[in-house]
Amino acid sequence: MASDGKWLWKTTSLEQSYTTYNISYQLTLASREPLLEDHLRQALIHLSRKVPLLRLCYAQREGEWWLREMAQEIIDFEMIPDVTIKDAHQKCLAYQYDIKTGPLWFAKLKPVSPSMEGVSDMAGFPHISTVFLGLYHGITDGYSNMKICGYLVQLLEDVIARNPINDEEKLGICVSGERTQQLIEERFAAIKADSEYKEEMMKEYQASQKSCLLASMISEDAGEKEPKTRMLLRNLDPDTSTAFFKRCREEGVSVNSAFTAVGSVAMVDFLVEGGIDQDTYRISSNHVVNARRYWGGDTSDYLGCHALPTNPVTVETPRTVGSNFWNYARKLHREFQKTLDSDKAIHIEAMKQVCRSENPDSGALFKLLQFDFCMTNMGNVTSLVTEGGAHVQATHVLRTTAIHPVPNLWAHFLHSFRGRLINVLAYSTENINDEMAENYCNKVFKHLHEVINIKK
């Protein structure tokens, strides 16, 4: 029974905020021999035993939600030979977890898969399989999930190679969001202690909550009455990826800032096409931040839900950027770095607490659509996922999150793996239809290809 599981910690407000999200990962594997059902099942059993994070579930204690260990081992795994890629992601994103019993994750194997579009087959590894991992966001984040993918690849290699596996040697350290919560509480106390500062911050925060331009041009009947999250995948080939990375370095701009700039310029095109006629546009992007960056020390083994959901960047974007793109990108990059260095994401979480303490009914304030698009960028994840070994190689990984339960029109899930830039545009069908998503995504990558070749 669940009462037999070890109590771990009371959930923080930030951990609770992610309990409306499901996560879907797609891991493409190439193997020397066909990947068997038993191979993956054995690897998943070891994964569950070696990664404490994957044994979490929820329970109430004196009226409050806590995380605790599952009372018994449950491996949720099935073969899906006839399910399409699209439907597999939908199952992951719409899955109803039994949060009190667990597990809060599952795996599905599509044993014979077509090669990923734009990804070359690997010599000597002719058999392509796809693993789908569904995860409950309340216990995990992107960094943790990429680490889990890496653990799975290595365990699968060991299973196939018949290497001994010691389940007592744990992988990753499961930690609560207490450190982040403490930082938020400290900022909250500082704001509350200074009435003039609090009033100034309240005005600034409320001003930032105004609806974005994009929301004003979307008609009420644009989407579906029963919304869900759909996704568009765009892979850059290795040569184009290398050229983009190289140009970013030469221009002194991070890949994240350059891609955000490209997304903002594409958004202007989208707004102009939608009938919003201005000389310049205040394009607002929201960036998810890894809270571990503010903890100090080595956090590489810490797993859990440690993503700060709101780090806004707003820049004036001219109707036509043209050959001035990289100057514009540097301006955006400076603004983004300023938000990181000033702990803006921590500050916003503290302001949410201030608003709640001042007005318990202020929930509607947080439901306003604030951003033209959201960005979650993990950089180069090759070392986290690993490339594999002599029997199985990881050739591609992509990720997406259910965004339709929250006020978010669409979000870029960006990272690179094995030298290739990978982007998933996730969009809520409540407001965005397939044609709109395809149109915007095409504009983004049209501009991306163009800016690589802008003359210096």
pLDDT at 4: 67
Over range 5-17, report the average pLDDT.
Answer: 89
**Contact of 233 with 424, CB cutoff 8 Å:** yes
Upper half-sphere CA count for residue 170 (Cβ side, 13 Å): 11
Domain made up of 2-174: CATH architecture: 2-Layer Sandwich (3.30)
* Each residue's pLDDT tens digit, 230-257: 999 999 999 999 999 999 999 999 999 9
* Each residue's pLDDT tens digit, 157-192: 999 999 999 999 999 999 999 999 999 999 999 988
- Residues contacting 182, CB < 8 A, separation 6+: none
Domain boundaries of the chain, sorted by first residue: 2-174
Confidence of residue 363 (pLDDT cuts 50, 70, 90): low
Of 414, 413, 248, nearest to 332 (Cα)? 248
**Contact of 28 with 388, CB cutoff 8 Å:** no
pLDDT higher than 50, residue 315: yes
* Each residue's pLDDT tens digit, 428-438: 999 899 999 99
DSSP state letters, 299-362? -TTEES--EE---EEEEEEES--GGGHHHHHHHHHHHHHHHHHTTHHHHHHHHHHHHHHH-TTG
Structure tokens at 238: 């290795």
- Whole-angstrom Cα distance, residue 310 to residue 305? 14
pLDDT higher than 80, residue 207: no
Residue at 130: amino acid letter: T
In the three-class reduction of DSSP (H, G, I as helix; E, B as strand; rest coil), residue 402 is classed as coil
Q: Rounded to 5 degrees, what are φ and ψ at 58?
A: -110, 155
